Structure 1
Amino acid sequence: MPETTRESLSAGGWKELEFGPFREGVTIHWIRRFDADQPGVALLKYEAGAAVPRHRHEGLETILVLQGTQSDESGDYGVGCYVVNAPGTEHSVWSDTGCVVLIQWDRPVTILGE
């Protein structure tokens, strides 16, 4: 099984992992699923033009962009960008070019609009 260390993922090791459905145009590879005491950690792969609708963060979310560019209402985040979204914040997310991000959520988000 391919490694999911930061070094391996940053070097493109994510390309060897299996991704499953998440949202239209976005697939997911769970590194660690949520449980009662632990955050969820995953890779999200956006096709060009894919988006996640407006949502609220119920806990801290951190994102490391591994490939491409991810965007939200605050700007565009390219390879190597580290994004922190505080609990209670809201935004929508998209990628015009397609991207892969490493994401950690303290708690699942609440989708506000489709």
Structure 2
Amino acid sequence: MYEDTDNNRATLEIKEPSVLMNGYQYRVIVNGFCLSATSSAATLTVNKAEQVITWANPTNIFSGTALSAEQLNATLITGDGALTYSPAEGTVLDAGTRTLRVDAAETATLILPLKK
């Protein structure tokens, strides 16, 4: 329960709510000298945040060279967990331009990111 007896604010600010708070309900209860009133419930909606991946353009490699951590070096800025690359480390690519992809798993509080 949150009680604001000193400030009498018109709004309730919830800073950095957890996604676990999604669906919480709040009511305003006003107690005055002569009467009291309770508002209808307001439901808090907390959406999952997007994970942020940074990844500089990978260094060029020569045909016949296996992909390594030198090319597959993305960083997960928000969130946690392992990054998955496609194609995977150790893959030998044919000559030409190829697309590399990195993914991070969705968590309870973060949605899937994607960086190509």
TM-score (norm 1): 0.23
Hey, which of these two has a bigger chunk of strand by percent?
1
Hey, which of these two has a bigger chunk of helix by percent?
1
TM-score (norm 2): 0.23
Is the radius of gyration larger for structure 1 or structure 2? Answer: 2
